[in-house]
Structure 1
């Protein structure tokens, strides 16, 4: 599996302004995410429990409102499983019903056709255009190997350049050692995407989470190793993702007042999804201000995602960064999409940058001016 590098910007109350440089507003990008799922017969071996379904369900739940998304399945033919539309509560409900139709009965593996059909109308550069492609096989469109070889050549010589020109980042997942890892890696690297090799379908949920985070922006708050996190008054909604270990007790949340809540708690402001595949997804409207605690085993893939009017707007980091490479990166703080530029407020700013590789801290530095 490829090494997962993460760069974090930690901010308390403000925005950094460097020297006399003028910082302009960064245009908010709309996320456009298209997910392509292999349903060829070989998946019976490589994903016998059809763990593609809960992995896809997780991404569907996490997609932010106002983004656009769609799901395509492919084998010999391409099927638009979930229509490419704006993400709403209604879209999510319909999408999760459709994921039950993911199967492992298709013939052949036509990667060229699904890339062509799913990206025929890429969004404008106001959008962050991303594709997540999962396959466990080789380009295989016919019993005639020469036709399959020609299809692979077209992917390299025609499809990849078109996607790159259209600013579409393709993140690829190779499920099994028998997949065309070289092609899937080349597709990802050539389009500015990320490549992952997964040898066990049980890892699909976490892999989809990582690639989702490269495709769609969600504001998060950090979770300390003691499983505690802070919520301030600007947060109007939070969604907590907790991965459960096999045989572990039920997940509990402790509120700032000390109250414990769980999946059985009845509260109109709490929506608790206890997925049998091994995770809890808890959404709480108007969460209490203060320190919360997740009463479960600490997991570096757990997340706390928030909706807030106070947001850190950033330019986009490249998915692949060469050691020693330099690039400009702008960060700004906004309130209701309006730039905060009051010196009295900005004087309270505290900004730091950190890099993690495979969940291990590489470096951390305070970058206040």
Structure 2
């Protein structure tokens, strides 16, 4: 006979060292301002890319800036979050002129980071050509200084990420790109200045692991644009709202509720930094250049305190001669704002199913957040203390620090010497309740399996087509099907489509000769976007992920080359992954 005894305890949290140890970090943006940049970047989009980077970085980053031509042209030491506008003042003051001496620039950037106490150190180098000075001797000297700086960066665990701009940098095997390969950094190529924005996006997501969400991509018309943005980060410590465009943005007005905020504007970008937002909606209006696009990005950050609640379930063991109950502990971890411990975080639907890593006494496991909490169950045989820490690498927000907990578990109680026999009427009552409960379960299951009748839902409207030409190719991998059949990898040439064509994933699969139906694929659309990108519009109930970000229903997202998207279809069985690949003109046949 089994007896269930439920004992519930609310456990106080105790500080513990968190495994997600995000300390201070430092980045130096190193810019080539040689005379050739006048040709490759006549509109000075590189300067806007600096703003895009520094205003995306969370508050635990120190940012520095250096520029070079024939010699070191500009230098701004490390500045904290509140002073980053001074970086832009230094960047906007540079002029494109002279020769290219990256040795002088890289040497200075490495020295800045060597003197920094940051835990993570990165250099982002934007250049449109190899080393070139007024004669062979000075060119050779710059090359020697450059190579020494690369070796010193590698020795000091400084990563160098290189963005090559223009035709001369198409060969990623040249000496400038070697800095990235020797330090574990990233290699990125931007054929045109407008493509720099995509390279910066890739660096922040893939190299610096900054979590950002594209809230909207606005097609600008002749009238003032009024935009309402859903804010899933209502309890974040800070949310940055960054507007970027290839054309000027002006007359920005905002309406929201927060403890305080500040606004910084440039010609082709604007930043609203919101501290302790209170509402779930952010309204804004602005004016832009007709037929241009404005991208609105949200960058949230949190400082977190974890707490734990413990409940126990006891049962009588089946083994004869047992002295103690069998005890099972259910531990639920909840998360609160570090400054306001009564403010519970991540209870919004946006965070459901988000992944976190939980380390208990040195053993690490990936867990899923549900309704703002993580629940684990384990058997308890005696008094025990668990040291618990958390890591948020796959979490869809920037968690700058998260304080762990110590959980004290109480061992099971002794079994009673004699177990009284329950009166028959109590047993009968329990049986009746059990039968009624079983009937209720059967009815619920029958109702769930009964097909619903009614009118078929209206097919979602297809999105508006783009004006840019398609480029590139989709590499498609169908990893799971409802039928269980294996399907070989597929390739679909987007460049063959007309610019005004909007195509669904279902149409793409059909054109590839796939007969199997993927529920919801007909409501996921692709259209052409600016800067060699494509726009994904989700009108389905499928689960769509990109770099840890959930792509929400009725939203559009800009995908640049090398973007990877995972789709779980509405039948919750079929799965597909596609990667958007760029192609050289010679590969488009």
For residue 234 of structure 1, give the secondary structure of its aligned residue in structure 2. Answer: coil
Q: How far 1:283 moved relative to its partner?
A: 2.5
Q: Which residue of 1 aligns with 2:565?
A: 361
Q: Would the aligned equivalents of 1:206 and 1:301 in 2 still touch at CA under 8 Å?
A: no
Q: Which residue of 1 aligns with 2:177?
A: 185
Q: Would the aligned equivalents of 2:18 and 2:401 in 1 still touch at CA under 8 Å?
A: no
The alignment status of 1:115 with 2:106, answered yes or no, reads: yes
Q: 1:287 aligns with which of 249, 273, 277?
A: 277
Q: Which residue of 2 aligns with 1:238?
A: 239
Q: 2:403 aligns with which of 338, 343, 348?
A: 338
Partner Cα distance (1:53, 1:197) in 2? 17
1:1-369 to 2 correspondences below 5 Å: 25-82=19-76, 84-89=77-82, 91-105=83-97, 107-121=98-112, 122-123=114-115, 126-144=118-136, 147-149=138-140, 151-152=142-143, 155-156=146-147, 158-179=148-169, 181=172, 182-213=174-205, 216=208, 218-220=210-212, 223=215, 229-232=230-233, 234-244=235-245, 263=253, 265=255, 269-273=260-264, 275-277=266-268, 279-290=269-280, 302-310=296-304, 332=391, 337-340=402-405, 355=547, 358-362=562-566
Q: Would the aligned equivalents of 1:30 and 1:66 in 2 still touch at CA under 8 Å?
A: yes
Q: Would the aligned equivalents of 1:33 and 1:215 in 2 still touch at CA under 8 Å?
A: no
Q: Deviations over 1:45-95 (max 9, x none)?
A: 11112222222233333343342221111011113432x224142x22322
Larger Rg: 2
Of the two structures, which has the highest relative contact order with CA contacts closer than 8 Å and spacing of 6 or more? 1
Q: How far 1:274 moved relative to its partner?
A: 5.2
RMSD, aligned α-carbons: 4.5
Q: How far 1:263 moved relative to its partner?
A: 1.6
Structure 2 unmatched ranges of 5 or more: 1-16, 219-227, 306-353, 358-364, 367-388, 393-398, 410-543, 549-560, 573-589
Partner Cα distance (2:63, 2:545) in 1? 31
Q: Which residue of 1 aligns with 2:432?
A: none
Partner Cα distance (2:562, 2:404) in 1? 34
Total equivalences in the alignment: 308
Tell me: CA distance 1:80–1:241, structure 2 relative to 1, closer, same or farther (3 Å). same
Structure 1 unmatched ranges of 5 or more: 1-22, 252-261, 316-327, 345-351
Partner Cα distance (2:256, 2:300) in 1? 21
Partner Cα distance (2:60, 2:203) in 1? 19
Partner Cα distance (1:313, 1:111) in 2? 41
Q: Would the aligned equivalents of 1:310 and 1:336 in 2 still touch at CA under 8 Å?
A: yes
Q: Would the aligned equivalents of 2:55 and 2:242 in 1 still touch at CA under 8 Å?
A: no
Q: Deviations over 1:186-227 (max 9, x none)?
A: 211221111111121123334334334556565545759999
Partner Cα distance (2:191, 2:400) in 1? 44
Q: How far 1:161 moved relative to its partner?
A: 2.3
How does the TM-score come out when normalised to structure 1? Answer: 0.66
